[in-house]
Structure 1
């Protein structure tokens, strides 16, 4: 098939939507499809269009359906679509969902958080990650217990929660929190710099390349994901594939990937509860081992081949619906 993928994130962006679009392009090309990634729909004819983000890609979605009303359209729902834009901008968000022939959700609980009228359109897909060359905790440093936080620094990620939590740790703790990511704006840059200067347990590393990220994961014993909203964070896929235990905020986007019985949740924005979990991973070997056992068991669900098969299922469903 001739497929266009629309993502609002530009070619130089390292945002999750851009990474997802490029990964889907690669996986679909492996299946023999011709795939272009664009930030705006330019009117070109194609066999199928996939739009990442119902709200941000609304103009592209409307333009495509106006030009080619009988051509299949898939809309992938992001965390901000589900947990923000459908409430703040319902008309535009729901119009995109109405125009779609299929909706893709990126965690298992999406159906609970969108209107029931869309349930028949929804397909769940787990984002994948490649098997890493090095695994979490494979290069531990003596006398330090490294906890990493990965991703752009922004409000939705509550990116400094682990750094704030580290203030509540006992003095004899060896925990070091390392945060890798580009600040969303000047406010976040200044917040990260201020925390780095005032908190000896916190290091902001800025935006790292892939080898540098691999090194950070290798020296880390735990990853913290403190988001207040997620549509299905790819960093969970990466942590599980790297066998790196996760402490995660208790939100649907995390529960929908890690499971309701995962033992490493903490209440959103609760730095004291997070500090207690961080200290427990440092001092309770059995608890840390249980977290690692859980992420290893989940790793198989985040394989690229499984994601490719899910994409092929999505294509088959919309094509069959049009026949």
Structure 2
């Protein structure tokens, strides 16, 4: 039987396994999903000295942080497929004025966003080159949850974009006797936010900052939580949200495009970004009727279950294969810089 020679695909990500963040999780998962069709290598930058063969295509995660790799690929292989995946900081901050991010947009043959409202952040001339690829995770059965109190969980490294301050303020509005306990997972990328987390834990016995944890531990805690709190100010499509949905855990999320694009416009678990009293009220509402079959918590769980098929691994695999099949090997990238989004 003849051996089938699979084409080589290179994924550039600014973060590898040591970072344990969304970029790394995406790169690792895409390599696994595409392994049946491509020989996939994941590197921090292009060119990669260890490769003795030019890849058939390059996928670069992060328009700004991978900008040097994007430019090097476009210069050395101008007709070879180039896909740039846009993060939340790309979409909702950097492409507004950062020259490196804007250059990546101009050079890419295809742009990828990770939730359905992402294309709206792009200038209209770029939207036809944009594809939505929902990230995915395996379905996980919920684990037993406490009956005497509501357990809320927030997952995300402590940095301003994730707005941990909103959770700190909400925790201080809740008193221990209300039956709400809050766990917070994430490394203190901003030392000041780490200090604020420690101060909140000292003042609020119902709040715990657990620091960074291995991904498997995070998933188990998600399965045991009644709700995930996702308070981000700026988000491209959060792993924690899809992992909560795939594990049967409802989400209380800030109403920003990155969350609405994953959970849907009609989802009932939103609060205004930065609004700690509104988050505290949602937590109290979930606690009040957590045992009722038709209560708020049950309704949110049903809405999340309806969105769960969007995040199935096979759906993501097919979207990636369609994306790569859609890119024409001899299609030149546009030479003009995109206009600044209004």
TM-score by length of structure 2 reads 0.89
Q: 5+ unaligned residues in a row in structure 1: which ranges?
A: none
Rounded Cα–Cα distance in structure 1 between residues aligned with 2:85 and 2:109: 11
Rounded Cα–Cα distance in structure 2 between residues aligned with 1:213 and 1:265: 22
The match for 1:17 is 23
The match for 1:98 is 106
The match for 1:118 is 126
Residue of structure 1 aligned with 2:270, choices 265, 287, 294: 265
Count how many residue pairs are aligned between Structure 1 and Structure 2: 318
Residues 110, 130 of structure 2: 8 Å contact kept = yes
The match for 1:179 is 184
The match for 2:81 is 72
| 1:6-155 superposed matches below 5 A | 6-29=12-35, 31-42=36-47, 45-89=54-98, 91-132=99-140, 134-135=141-142, 138-155=143-160
* Greater displacement, 284-293 / 75-84: 284-293
- Cα distance change on mapping 1:66 and 1:92 into 2, 3 Å: same
Residue of structure 2 aligned with 1:4, choices 10, 18, 34: 10
Q: 5+ unaligned residues in a row in structure 2: which ranges?
A: 1-6, 333-342
The match for 1:295 is 304
TM-score by length of structure 1 reads 0.94
SS at 2:58 equivalent: strand
Residues 79, 329 of structure 2: 8 Å contact kept = no
Higher helix share: 1
What is the deviation of 1:72? 0.5
Residues 163, 201 of structure 1: 8 Å contact kept = no
SS at 1:93 equivalent: helix
SS at 1:319 equivalent: coil
Rounded Cα–Cα distance in structure 2 between residues aligned with 1:142 and 1:302: 29
Q: Deviations over 1:101-152 (max 9, x none)?
A: 00001110112111111011000010001122x41xx322242210000121
Rounded Cα–Cα distance in structure 1 between residues aligned with 2:46 and 2:330: 23
Rounded Cα–Cα distance in structure 1 between residues aligned with 2:168 and 2:221: 16
